[in-house]
Structure 1
Amino acid sequence: MIWGEGNPSAPIMLILDNPGAREDREGQSFVCGTRETLQRGLREAGIETASVYITYLLKCRPIRAYDKPAAREACSPHLHMQKGEKKPLIAFGFGNVVAEALLPDREGATVKELRGSWQDWQGTPIGFTYHPLAVRRRPNLMRIFVEDLVALRDRWEWIRK
Structure 2
Amino acid sequence: MMILDNPGAREDRQGNSFLCGTRETLQLGMREAGIDAADVYVTFLLKCRPIRAYNKPEARAACLPHLELQLFQKKPLVLFGFGDVVAEAVFPDQESASVKELRGSWFEFQGTPISFTYHPLAVRRRPNLLRFFVEDLQALKEKWMEIQHRRL
Q: Are 2:129 and 1:138 equivalent residues in the alignment?
A: no
Q: 2:64 aligns with which of 59, 65, 76?
A: 76
Q: 1:106 aligns with which of 79, 82, 94?
A: 94
Q: Distance in 1 between matches of 2:133 and 2:55?
A: 29
Q: Distance in 2 between matches of 1:147 and 1:64?
A: 34
Task: Map 1:1-161 to 2 at 5 A.
Answer: 13-161=1-149
Q: Distance in 1 between matches of 2:94 and 2:144?
A: 24
Q: Distance in 1 between matches of 2:17 and 2:137?
A: 19
Report if the CA contact (8 A) 2:5-2:46 is conserved.
yes
Q: What is the letter of the counterpart of residue 72 of structure 1?
A: R
Q: What is the letter of the counterpart of residue 94 of structure 1?
A: F
- Structure 1: any 5+ residue segments left out of the alignment? 1-12
Q: Distance in 2 between matches of 1:28 and 1:159?
A: 28
Runs of 4+ in 1 over 6 A off after TM superposition: none
Q: Distance in 2 between matches of 1:47 and 1:109?
A: 26
Task: Render the CA deviation track for 1:67-114: whole Å, top value 9, x for unaligned.
Answer: 111111111111100000000000000001100100123233210111
TM-score normalised according to structure 2 size: 0.95
Q: Distance in 1 between matches of 2:93 and 2:13?
A: 35
Deviation at 1:63, TM superposition (A): 1.0
TM-score normalised according to structure 1 size: 0.90
Please name the residue that 1:4 is paired with: none
Range moving further from structure 2, 106-115 or 53-62: 106-115
Deviation at 1:26, TM superposition (A): 2.3
Deviation at 1:35, TM superposition (A): 0.6
Q: Distance in 2 between matches of 1:155 and 1:28?
A: 26
Aligned-residue sequence identity (percent) comes to 72
Cα-Cα RMSD: 0.9
Q: What is the letter of the counterpart of residue 139 of structure 2?
A: A
Identify, as 1 or 2, the structure richer in strand: 1
Range moving further from structure 2, 17-26 or 93-102: 17-26
